[in-house]
């Protein structure tokens, strides 16, 4: 365990804000976390890789960070899957049947919350296990994948998460959440809503496929893959899908080590069918996706239509290749980023009558 006072968070937020935490603690195991809980006072913020945060100033409480590692294939006799009566049950006593019935062809893998997400993805691809290859190169850590329901190129974390192990930051008790209890939706989970700030995630168990079923229908993924495939080969393998995703992301998204950013700054809004049809009359080229409850419109497209792509306000800018991403052009204050965010929201509202909201957590 590492415990610091007045600790700089510069290396713990990809926006590159040089702010301090009054206390910063990094723990290596569930046991360490439990012993740490009674010492916590004031506000507590649990972070992962800091790739989805914008600090508005110094943090006057305690920042926690998990360094729980480990990537382990599970079998039905693995201790993590054994409850008092054999197969694990949740606190209501429901059998976690989705865990118990290991289907043919599936492998369960339990991963420590502090593992770097892309290290886990690389591990799965090296072993030929399918399910998360489309989520290659997403910044951040495994714990956050379960909070944020990270998603890209037609796959979301919720599609592969079986269960989430967590510790109550008030009582120190452990709780296990089956996938259905996490209330997953687009970039949403119970850990961002009713239970926000209440639990620290310690392990996430994913279900992967021994015979991967590739998902190649999103955007230009198939086209990029076909270009990459050596002559004569027409069936991509996992490693090639991973590489294509890495190429697409690198071409569009700024590297936080070079230019501070937190990936997509806004979520894509979902509007009613009526609203969409009215807008489509005016903008026939508007990209859109049918989703449950309405039609999703890419915020990046609307921001570009408002003329913001590649523009800046002070030292805060809109990325020139993907308008959904706000960047720190060098030494930007969080106020400058927030001002840019608000100005963009107003412009989108004025032009399209749609409210867009930050995906990034403003702390």
Q: Which positions are catalytic?
A: 187, 264, 359
Q: Enumerate the β-bridge partners of residue 27.
A: 66
CA 47, 2, 109 angle in degrees (round to 5)? 55
Q: Judged by CB under 6 A, which of 264, 270, 336, 341 binds ligand EPU?
A: 264
Give phi and psi for 89, each to the nearest 5.
Answer: -125, 155
Can you state the angle between helices 221-228 and 238-252, rounded to 10 degrees? Answer: 110
Q: Judged by CB under 6 A, which of 300, 327, 332, 358 binds ligand EPU?
A: 300
Residue 287 interacts with ligand EPU (CB under 6 A): yes or no? yes
User: Read out DSSP for 226-268?
Assistant: HHHSPTT--S--HHHHHHHHHHHHHHHS--TTTS-EEEESBPP
Q: Judged by CB under 6 A, which of 49, 130, 236, 263 binds ligand EPU?
A: 263
> Which range in 12-20, 74-82, 87-95, 260-268 contacts ligand EPU by CB under 6 A?
260-268
User: What is the helix, strand, coil percentage profile of the chain, to 5?
Assistant: 30, 30, 40
For the bound state, the minimum distance from the C-beta of residue 233 to ligand EPU, rounded and expressed in Å, comes to: 25
For the bound state, the minimum distance from the C-beta of residue 150 to ligand EPU, rounded and expressed in Å, comes to: 7
Residues 139-168 within binding reach of ligand EPU (CB under 6 A): 152-153
Distance (Å, whole) CA 271 – CA 246: 31
Instruction: Choose between 112 and 300: whose C-beta lies nearer to ligand EPU.
Output: 300
Distance (Å, whole) CA 350 – CA 363: 27
For the bound state, the minimum distance from the C-beta of residue 344 to ligand EPU, rounded and expressed in Å, comes to: 12
DSSP 269: P
Is residue 177 within 8 Å of residue 96, measured between CB atoms?
Answer: no
Which residue's C-beta sits nearest to ligand EPU?
Answer: 263
Instruction: Choose between 124 and 268: whose C-beta lies nearer to ligand EPU.
Output: 268
For the bound state, the minimum distance from the C-beta of residue 324 to ligand EPU, rounded and expressed in Å, comes to: 4
For the bound state, the minimum distance from the C-beta of residue 298 to ligand EPU, rounded and expressed in Å, comes to: 3
For the bound state, the minimum distance from the C-beta of residue 262 to ligand EPU, rounded and expressed in Å, comes to: 7
Residue 114 interacts with ligand EPU (CB under 6 A): yes or no? no
Which residues, 6+ apart, have CB-to-CB distance to 35 below 8 Å?
none
Residues 214-233 within binding reach of ligand EPU (CB under 6 A): 218-219
Residues 312-351 within binding reach of ligand EPU (CB under 6 A): 322-324
Instruction: Choose between 307 and 331: whose C-beta lies nearer to ligand EPU.
Output: 307
Taking residue 307's Cβ as centre, other Cβ atoms within 10 Å add up to: 12
Is residue 81 within 8 Å of residue 90, measured between CB atoms?
Answer: no
Instruction: Choose between 85 and 285: whose C-beta lies nearer to ligand EPU.
Output: 285
> Which range in 78-86, 97-105, 297-305, 326-334 contacts ligand EPU by CB under 6 A?
297-305
Instruction: Choose between 219 and 330: whose C-beta lies nearer to ligand EPU.
Output: 219
> Which range in 29-37, 158-166, 196-204, 293-301 contacts ligand EPU by CB under 6 A?
293-301
- Please give the helix or strand (H or E) that residue 273 lies within, else none: helix 273-282
For ligand EPU (CB under 6 A), the number of binding residues is 19
Distance (Å, whole) CA 178 – CA 184: 11
DSSP 95: B
Cβ burial of 160 (10 Å; 0-12, 13-18, 19+) is buried
Residue 267 interacts with ligand EPU (CB under 6 A): yes or no? yes
Instruction: Choose between 81 and 253: whose C-beta lies nearer to ligand EPU.
Output: 253
For residue 106, the SS3 value is strand
Summarize as ranges the residues that interact with ligand EPU (CB under 6 A).
152-153, 218-219, 253, 263-264, 267-268, 287, 298, 300-301, 304, 309, 322-324, 359
């Amino acid at each position: 365990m590492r415990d610091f006072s007045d600790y700089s968070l510069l290396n713990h937020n990809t926006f590159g804000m040089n702010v301090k935490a009054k206390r910063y603690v990094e723990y290596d195991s569930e046991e360490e976390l439990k012993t740490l809980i009674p010492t916590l006072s004031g506000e507590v913020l649990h972070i992962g890789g800091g790739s989805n945060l914008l600090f508005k100033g110094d943090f006057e409480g305690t920042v926690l960070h998990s360094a729980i590692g480990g990537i382990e294939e599970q079998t039905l006799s693995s201790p993590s899957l054994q409850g008092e009566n054999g197969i694990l049950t949740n606190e209501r006593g429901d059998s976690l049947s989705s865990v118990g019935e290991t289907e043919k062809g599936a492998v369960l893998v339990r991963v420590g919350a502090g593992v770097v997400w892309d290290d886990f993805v690389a591990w799965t691809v090296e072993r030929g296990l399918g399910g998360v290859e489309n989520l290659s190169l997403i910044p951040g850590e495994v714990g956050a994948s379960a909070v944020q329901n990270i998603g890209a190129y037609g796959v979301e974390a919720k599609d592969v998460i079986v269960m989430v192990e967590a510790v109550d930051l008030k009582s120190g008790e452990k709780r296990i959440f089956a996938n259905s209890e996490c209330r997953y939706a687009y970039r949403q989970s119970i850990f961002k809503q009713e239970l926000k700030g209440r639990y620290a995630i310690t392990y996430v168990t994913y279900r992967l496929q021994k015979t991967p079923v590739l998902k190649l229908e999103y955007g230009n993924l198939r086209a990029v893959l076909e270009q990459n495939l050596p002559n004569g080969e027409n069936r991509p393998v996992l490693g090639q899908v991973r590489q294509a995703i890495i190429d697409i992301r690198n071409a569009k998204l700024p590297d936080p080590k070079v230019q501070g950013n937190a990936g997509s700054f806004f979520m894509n809004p979902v509007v009613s069918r009526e609203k969409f049809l009215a807008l489509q009359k005016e903008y026939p080229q508007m990209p859109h996706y049918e989703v449950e409850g309405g039609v999703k419109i890419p915020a990046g497209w609307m921001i570009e239509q408002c003329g913001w792509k590649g523009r800046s306000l002070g030292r805060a800018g809109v990325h020139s290749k993907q308008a959904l991403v706000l960047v720190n052009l060098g030494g930007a204050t969080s106020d400058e980023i927030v001002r840019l965010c608000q100005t963009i929201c107003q412009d989108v509202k004025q032009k399209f009558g749609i409210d867009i909201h930050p995906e990034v957590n403003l702390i």
